[in-house]
A and B are shown apart, each in its own frame.
Chain A
């Protein structure tokens, strides 16, 4: 048994002894805090990172639209957005016309757009490319934990709270893969609980305890069993707190009535809930637009915009909310030339968004040229690991090379 599992066990025991709403300090780096419902508001909120994944490969050219380029209309006869459907930045390019809320955030200086983000020798497989984004390593999963997992090892090595990393949704992305800080996850906070009889809960909680000393090892099963035990313990420790945080959260902001809107409302609740959460994650899928892309992508942009605009407005209302920085990314962009079915196939570079009260808004990177293509694909100008490095160094405040395995130039979207 290593010291970490002892920590976790002690933590869980303490948590259940106090019946959930205990005085628990999260010794997260740079922010020692104490909270309790009776003791008034949370003091000194920690810096939180929110990941918004657009699954399927978001079309960069339909997100930041080069309406001033004839080559764009030549390559996209049925998909191109007309100038009137674009929120122009200048004579050449602008935001997709549905991103009205994000445009306001951009104009308010709280949205940074990094253009032309990708990596060398791009892979056009959804799964492999996500592995690369999730591990920040071209080898993918064989390289080990996700980049957030590695970040946790460096930044919060002594943090034992299971709510440190939370995914709101069904499929936990590999970026959160971690031996020491695995993510807790839920779809619906109200049913995030074990529903047995009250008197049986104690016995349920004990199932998460470490293996007894006298227990005979049972070979390979041990790894899975230990994993399952820890998940039981994390579930017990997080379930009540997360349900309480979401149930007690009130806001004047109206979120869109869809899955992403609901998930982002939960994100705001957790960011304001004083749970010690440092990383939050959500997903919007449906971006693999091989056929009839136009309407579908328009709708996705609208959906994304409404939900993010609501979240950003909501986060502005509190100090804890102002300490959230969000990253919106996708595994790749799409081919420049549309395919034979009014859609686009897998491509390469695309823009990412970074938003938040502390973000220095504006355009970063370089809009990829439509004249200088690499076998029909855009060329990237910014390595996505530069975006990560910036978030790691300037937001979380640890050395990025320790997390990423190498140094990447930072981008000045965080002061």
Chain B
């Protein structure tokens, strides 16, 4: 809350009159920027941004409103090595490995909540936005990495370097423990290549399909040999590196990993690939070739400076065009964090993580190396209804256990993985549940702990929509609908939706025996009814756009 206020104050201090000189910088533009560069905004934040003026506000955004943060404290539990495990008896080994796995899952859930909290707080929304962007770009999944410390470390890399130079990020990701494990490059060694990372680094991270050959992949894999992971840390073993000559993308050299990265950064396809990805992500539509080329040559001329790229974009009038503003289908995190911020509710952040997962965007577990498809792919008949249910939960009109628990319990019980080494067995209680026929995800105690607390505490949103509407001076059904829709939606209500909502509010009000324009005075009835109205508004097709 303090952070949110500070933006407004800054706006008032510096901003007087500056918006007048820039007719395109208005609440619509500021809200759009805060939706795309951050995770939604309250009306006061939008007004503060307008008052500050576009350029000044963009620079504040790039620097962060309150950029300092306390990094998540990562507790490390060292896994016993093979010899130590072999020395234990069966029960002790099981218990030890189970404990490690439990700890790891708990820590992962806690970190996910911590991350969502950063998004909700809004101290440096763009930093968290870029962390999410890179998480979907240089994907790694906790399911494969199996180390919360490595996953958190990679996330922190995105947080600290996500607005820096792409080349630095790429060099860091090549030796990132989570990435080494996720794409098997820690298995890639001289004489025994593993091509997985070599392929994806060209296909998805730098060039795109069609800009390399199968032979390039084989040769690049050789250049990328030598890395290992040990107890969750990356290391480089010279003897595993293939130091011979390789011909990659037409150049012959004794390439090593950094030499190969430098070669990739020199390819004309590379800045185009990154520019297109960033434009699609922030604008929500396919950019023209000319626009990609323009931004690609800018990126190249600035040595792949991501912050400079974003500054250019946020000051570009085309970013504020009608077919960009609020034309994108928001992803689950955008929908949930954005709705929470617009409603000004403060749900336990781990609950938002679980909810987003159920809607198709489980942070720290992207579905594949390509990340999330986004756009219309977010929306199915099921996820669209579920979005409404999650909004109902935020508003306290739908019970948490009615929307979250069933699918979490049913969530994807993948075969417990075993690579032949000694893997922890399933938790006993999960085992029992499976026998009973529950389709339960094994061992998500950390998650249930968070949810359990929310259930025990009886989460109720600390909001008062009645007072909010009264302050806005609205009385009639139509005015109430318009006021709430304006606060909660990024697009204007369509006339059909407006008619449905006004009719709904009118008929429900009448059935409670309340006269026209008297709803806000009938306190015991007005708040539940306004929350149901807000629930319908957030279930609208319009509410999925931002």
A residues neighboring B (CB under 8 Å): 123-128, 162, 167, 170-172, 183-188, 190-197, 199-200, 203-204, 206-212, 214-215, 218-221, 224-225, 227-229, 231-232, 234-235, 238-239, 257-259, 262, 285-286, 290-292, 294-296, 299-300, 303, 339-341, 343, 345-346, 375
Contacts and interface: CB of A to CB of B under 8 A. Distances in A.
Given A190-B406, A224-B327, 9 more contacts: A126-B369, A186-B380, A192-B381, A192-B385, A193-B385, A204-B388, A286-B415, A294-B420, A341-B194
A271 B177 CA distance: 46
A225 B542 contact: yes
Interface of B: 184, 187-189, 191-196, 199, 203, 209, 214, 285, 322-324, 326-329, 360, 367-370, 376-377, 379-386, 388-389, 392, 397-398, 402-403, 406-407, 410-415, 417-420, 434-435, 437, 439, 491-492, 494-497, 499-501, 503-504, 508, 532, 535-536, 539-542, 544-545
Contact of A303 (B415, B437, B545): B415
Contacts of B381: 162, 184-186, 192, 231, 234-235, 238-239
A56 B371 CA distance: 14
Contact of B410 (A125, A209, A262, A294): A262
B532 A196 contact: yes
A172 B420 contact: no
Which residue of A172, A214, A224, A228 has the most chain B CB atoms within 10 A of its CB atom? A224
Given A290-B184, A340-B193, A128 B209 contact: yes
28 contacts: A125-B209, A171-B367, A172-B377, A183-B380, A185-B380, A186-B382, A188-B407, A191-B403, A191-B406, A195-B398, A200-B532, A207-B540, A209-B496, A215-B495, A219-B322, A224-B327, A224-B545, A234-B381, A239-B385, A259-B412, A259-B414, A262-B410, A290-B187, A295-B420, A299-B415, A299-B418, A339-B187, A346-B195
B439 A341 contact: no
B499 to A, nearest CB: 7
Please provide the 4 A-B residue pairs with the shortest distance between their CB atoms, ordered closest to farther.
A340-B192, A341-B187, A228-B541, A220-B323
Contacts of B494: 211-212, 215, 218, 225
Given A259-B412, A290-B194, A295 B544 contact: no
B209 A227 contact: no
Contact of A195 (B192, B402, B437): B402
A203 B407 contact: no
B329 A224 contact: yes
Contacts of A204: 388, 536, 539
Contacts of A186: 380-382
Contacts of B188: 340-341
A220 B544 CA distance: 14
Contacts of A220: 285, 322-324, 327
Contacts of B412: 170, 259
Nearest to A169: B412
B495 to A, nearest CB: 5
Nearest to B362: A170
Contacts of A195: 385, 388-389, 392, 398, 402-403
A340 B187 contact: yes
Nearest to A226: B541
A50 B46 CA distance: 50
Given A194-B388, A340-B191, A127 B382 contact: no
Which residue of B203, B386, B435 has the most chain A CB atoms within 10 A of its CB atom? B386
A231 B193 contact: no
Contacts of A340: 187-189, 191-194
B407 A187 contact: yes
A397 B370 CA distance: 37
B495 A212 contact: yes
B367 to A, nearest CB: 6
A192 B384 CA distance: 10
Contacts of A296: 417-419
A81 to B, nearest CB: 15
B439 A257 contact: yes
B195 A345 contact: yes
Contact of B535 (A123, A183, A200): A200
Nearest to A300: B415
B92 to A, nearest CB: 23
